Amino acid sequence: MSNKLLDPFKIKDLTLNNRVVMSPMCMYSAKEDGIVQNFHYTHYQARAIGHVGLIIQEATAVLPEGRITENDLGIWDDAHKDKLKILVNKVHDYDSKIGIQLAHAGRKSSTSKDIYAPSALAYDETYKTPLAMTKDDINKVIQAFKDGALRAKDCGYDVIEIHGAHGYLINQFLSPVTNIRDDEYGGSMENRYRILKEIIHACKSVYDGPIFVRISANEYDDHGNTLDDYVTFVKWMKEDGVDVVDVSTGGLVPVIPRAYPNYQVPYASKIKNETALTTGTVGIITSGSQALQILEDEHADLIFLGRELLREPNWVLNVKHEFCLPYDGPEQYERAYR
């Protein structure tokens, strides 16, 4: 019996076993060197055993000063690669696919190093004021994303996601709230998009797998980008060769939105239907029937789960059981689904 949530789904030459994606969620479990720890192996492999179609690894910093905290994973050095390869292989052992979110925190970094942003505007009174980036700093970041993409390719990642959401560096460049530059990287929408465009092209020059971009389609600030602005940005991303847009909201300013089931789905729906780019949605999606309805109503193409997969690594197996579909998980667990 066909089921849009649980049937295979193809992106470029990559076939996922289903449309369930583990959303990237920081675990803050690395040491200062940013190297994978045993926890990460267990954490990600458990979701692969549970048959998640695509697992996207937490925000992984392309530069040490780009970490959200000093306990974030890193990919700024070849020394990271050996254990990242082991992690990829552990996920592949259970026939799941794995992506990596390449990230730079910008002004939302809480590391002890100097921090950098488009403009010298602190996130709030608890954060350091960042240094406004020079063109050399911008070029360094673009090169770091390119180097990270090449390392990700070497490690065998199936997908790269560029983190352009939640108030981190790329989101800071995109938004007029946080970008008050007067050079070619500030001012107009085209200029504010420029660094993301250059990062996309840099990554594509060394990596030929699917490229995702995560965005915050509501910045929760009256002076920020509108949803229509993000429709325009996504159209440009599509022209630049992005394969999937992962639609979230928030994080640019210290505002906590009211969250309820499907609260972010309308943003994904508008973007999907006005850009025709493969679109993922996220945000308090907890049941198989809820996820399936989103797909059947053409609001999104992929379902990203965050906290629900923290609570239940076997969510996909449980949903297959709920839908009375044949069990096809690890033989060791079969007795639970008879």
3-state DSSP of 195-222: HHHHHHHHHHCCCCCCEEEEEECCCCCC
H or E element: which one contains 89? helix 81-92
Q: Is residue 165 assigned to a domain?
A: yes
Q: How far, in Å, are 117, 221, 263, 311 from residue 225 at the CA level?
A: 18, 8, 18, 33
Would strands 9-11 and 14-16 be described as parallel, antiparallel, or unpaired? antiparallel
Domain residues for the domain of 110 are 9-337
Residue 53: the pLDDT is: 98
pLDDT at 334 over 80: yes
Tell me, what CATH number does 40's domain have? 3.20.20.70
Residue by residue, DSSP assigns 247-263 as EE---SSS------TTT
In a domain, residue 267? The reply is: yes
Q: Comparing C-alpha atoms, which of 75, 83, 76 is closest to residue 40? A: 83
- The chain-wide mean pLDDT, for the chain, equals 97
Domain count, the chain: 1
The alpha carbon dihedral of 190, 209, 159, 146 has a sign of negative
Question: How many helices (H) and strands (E) in the chain?
Answer: 10, 13
29 located within any domain: yes
In a domain, 142, yes or no: yes
* Residue 311 in domain: yes
pLDDT digits (tens, 9 = 90+) for 222-261: 999 999 999 999 999 999 999 999 999 999 999 999 999 9
Mean pLDDT within 106-121: 96
**How far is residue 305's CA from residue 41's CA, in Å, rounded to a whole number?**
19
Q: Residue 2: what pLDDT?
A: 85
The DSSP code for 155 is: H
The answer to whether residue 4 sits within a structural domain is no
Distance CA 159, CA 247 (A): 16
Confidence of residue 99 (pLDDT cuts 50, 70, 90): very high
pTM, rounded to two decimals: 0.98
DSSP secondary structure letter of residue 322: H
| 42, 85 contact by CB (below 8 A) | no
What is the percent of the chain where pLDDT is above 70? 100
Question: Is 315 a member of any domain?
Answer: yes
CA angle (195, 10, 322) in 5-degree steps: 115
User: Residue 130 falls within a domain, yes or no?
Assistant: yes
Report which residue type is found at 83. K
Residue 162, phi then psi, degrees to nearest 5: -90, 125
What value does the mean pLDDT take over residues 78-102? Answer: 98
Is the pLDDT at 152 greater than 90, yes or no? yes
